Structure 1
């Protein structure tokens, strides 16, 4: 019995999504916002115009109806000089005296018994597909309506109308008109709003056309402006793509004072920090390899040549242990210098300068049999990292011990001038030659003219002192001691007022 091998199902990786550039996104959002805004403006304008048309038609209908009502109440027949007694005569005289608007119809309706209401109209053209005077069904609907105004919607076009019912008047013995039963009649004013509304729609279409042209212009201008604004961003992206660990020298030209220029400046600052970090890393690796190679070679050589003699083994172990201790000190110093690039390398806190100077003096006295002196001491509060400052001062004291002999003077003190704070270590040794003053603060560099106790360090002590000073935004400087020797000064500027 054979078993079929299981099928291997492979799925193709989904196609990478196509990215839309920031330039296109900005332009699309701009066009969407502008299109919505321009459409809203056009629609609002059309709504306002249509509302004005409705209000004007309403006022016109009310005015015509009011004029007829007043004429009915106060008018006289020009032939008899008396009040109107017949509705059709009243309507005919009134219509002869009126001048209707272009889209307006003034109609008199009189109904005889058993008939549709007869019409009395002004003989003129009405610019509409089917005027009310030619639409008997519409006239009957308006005449039969119990409302005084309304809107009649029909396939031939909408009609806004107002109506005033009238009746025949009989003679009054006092000359007045007393209403009697008679044929029904009505005065109707009708308005065809299509043309007025078409004007509003035409304005709406014109606004839409203008909006379309504005959007096209905005597309071109927005594309150019967005490209110009985002050009530094593209430069940043290109520079970032070209960066490698071996080449961090690319920088972005900063132009202007806007947010994009600030972005470019920030990116350049980041590149500076990265370059320093990689340089520090390379220096650490190079220095560690350079300094550790020798003790490793010594340890390996002694171990390879170690014999069976107990005394020889003891001596070999002592030498190996001494080299391992030296390697440990080198590694600790290199790690400390690597940490100097970190923002938390120093942690300032309020410290009494006099107390700090006295503590350093007490700790330094244990480094060697020398003539230790506590010089001037400044009494004020400062903002420093006391552990780092103590470490730097003890290192300077150790350096002074190595280059002096028994009985020579080493003086430690501090002073304050304005906002400047100085802590110093002065010795009476041979001093430092001018050609050595520029190199002794570099890693693994030692002066050539200092003599005294044999130096066993790796040449990192003064580099650590300089790193601590720079961590406090200060510096370390060197000058000759009066009477001979060298004076190292740790100089800092106070960041806060004295408390």
Structure 2
């Protein structure tokens, strides 16, 4: 609106300025003609004011809205192009409006503006004196009503066009904004439809622009939230399921607790055993819950041979049986040595539980090529001579609380050890695996991607003083460990 008003003000000012210039120009041209004072028809001075005015006005062609009038001794002479009409439809000519002309002649100023029924009249006058009679007057008048009407019509048209353009722009913007913001609304609908029990809603991603990336980021966030929620729910379900049995056993024995010292001792032993079992369950469940945190692993550059020989010395204390270290990977890589040691100890513990007493256990480590032929994998493995795993149990070996059929001797334990193994392997971006045939023993292992470095970068002093290195040299040369 401010622009329209400013535009109208500028146009009106231009109309008024143009009218003033036209009046001034006509006055100056007549003054120049009158100053010569010679009739070009006769070559002599004009004999009267009327002759001067008649000759000059016969040569004039006034602009639209302009009237040029000569007032001499007789009837006014004029050249009029005002094209104005009175309210009753009669053509209006300023030369016939004696009252207005007299008002202009009587005004002491040479220029001015009169308000008439036909609108503002801008005028200029010049007194004429030829010295041969009464002086006359030359009057130039400009009606700007028609020009003002044209300005108003232009402003109205501009307003209509502007409003039409504004409405069209608003409509296009509304449609465009609707299409642009559609993914945002979909994100909002997806967010409002998410409930505590259903986190499966996802936003469809149809574009690759910024909004498509927003929708994909929102879906990724929902994936993480759903994973965390499912992990929490599994933890609660698993804990409640596994803790229910020992709690029931403890409660039952305490309710029937006898005053007899022998029976009390037996009952307290059972209670202590079940409490220990509950403690192990809770510890393992917390371990699995922590496995999904980013700080679960603490990777450090590790000498793979040192790590394997340390595992060898640790498993020797688990049971009095032959522990046969078959191969040792060499090199350096960034891994979590403690977690990988935990993997091998879990495998070794299972081997002790499920293998015949005194049966040898073979284990080792090696570096192999990745499945894609590029990169390296650190493979840790352990083979027992237990009863093996049936074909139907193989897919569920690393699941939580999985216990094979009692006939396989895998019926004791809570079924969390191998789940922890798989969690450690997953955290290393690797995999846990098993190879087994029912009744022929099992081989368990993990494959972990590594960026292998040569052991030559290690200090020579450490090579010579480490007892594990000495054992490795003995293993290479066939010495008795």
TM over 0.5: yes
Matched residue, 1:465: 421
TM-aligned CA deviation for residue 376 of structure 1: 0.9
TM-aligned CA deviation for residue 443 of structure 1: 0.7
1:362 pairs with 295, 310, 319, which one?
310
TM-aligned CA deviation for residue 201 of structure 1: 1.5
How many residues matched?
432
Deviations 1:197-238 (A, max 9, x none): 211221222233344445555676666666666665565555
CA separation in 2, counterparts of 1:462 and 1:202?
89
CA separation in 1, counterparts of 2:106 and 2:351?
123
Distance 1:69 1:386, change over 3 A: farther
1:308 pairs with 259, 267, 274, which one?
259
Matched residue, 2:473: none
Deviations 1:324-378 (A, max 9, x none): 1221221232233334445x354666x31426x6347526633424626461133
Matched, 1:299 2:256: no
In structure 1, list runs of 5 or more residues that go unmatched: 1-38, 172-181, 495-499
Contact 2:66/2:82 (8 A) holds in 1: no
TM-aligned CA deviation for residue 47 of structure 1: 5.4
Written as runs of structure 1 = structure 2, the 5 A alignment for 1:21-420 is 46=8, 49-50=11-12, 52-54=14-16, 56-74=18-36, 76-84=38-46, 89-108=51-70, 120-122=77-79, 126-127=83-84, 133=95, 134=97, 136=99, 140=103, 144=107, 146=109, 151-153=113-115, 156-163=118-125, 165-168=126-129, 187-214=138-165, 240-257=191-208, 261-262=212-213, 264-342=215-293, 344=294, 346=296, 351-354=300-303, 358-359=306-307, 361-362=309-310, 365-367=313-315, 368-369=318-319, 371=323, 373=325, 375-380=328-333, 382=334, 391-392=342-343, 394-400=345-351, 402-403=353-354, 407-412=360-365, 418-420=374-376
Contact 2:329/2:367 (8 A) holds in 1: yes
SS in 1 for 2:141: strand
TM-score normalised over the length of structure 1: 0.69
TM-score normalised over the length of structure 2: 0.71
SS in 2 for 1:106: strand
CA separation in 2, counterparts of 1:366 and 1:450?
30
Written as runs of structure 1 = structure 2, the 5 A alignment for 1:465-484 is 465-479=421-435
Contact 2:323/2:361 (8 A) holds in 1: yes
Matched residue, 1:34: none
Contact 2:121/2:144 (8 A) holds in 1: yes
Contact 1:469/1:492 (8 A) holds in 2: no
CA separation in 1, counterparts of 2:425 and 2:37?
111
SS in 2 for 1:122: strand
TM-aligned CA deviation for residue 190 of structure 1: 2.3
In structure 2, list runs of 5 or more residues that go unmatched: 87-91, 452-481
TM-aligned CA deviation for residue 440 of structure 1: 0.9
CA separation in 2, counterparts of 1:83 and 1:353?
125
CA separation in 2, counterparts of 1:241 and 1:300?
45
Across the aligned residues of Structure 1 and Structure 2, the Cα RMSD in angstroms comes to 4.4
TM-aligned CA deviation for residue 438 of structure 1: 1.6
Distance 1:209 1:458, change over 3 A: same
Distance 1:396 1:80, change over 3 A: farther
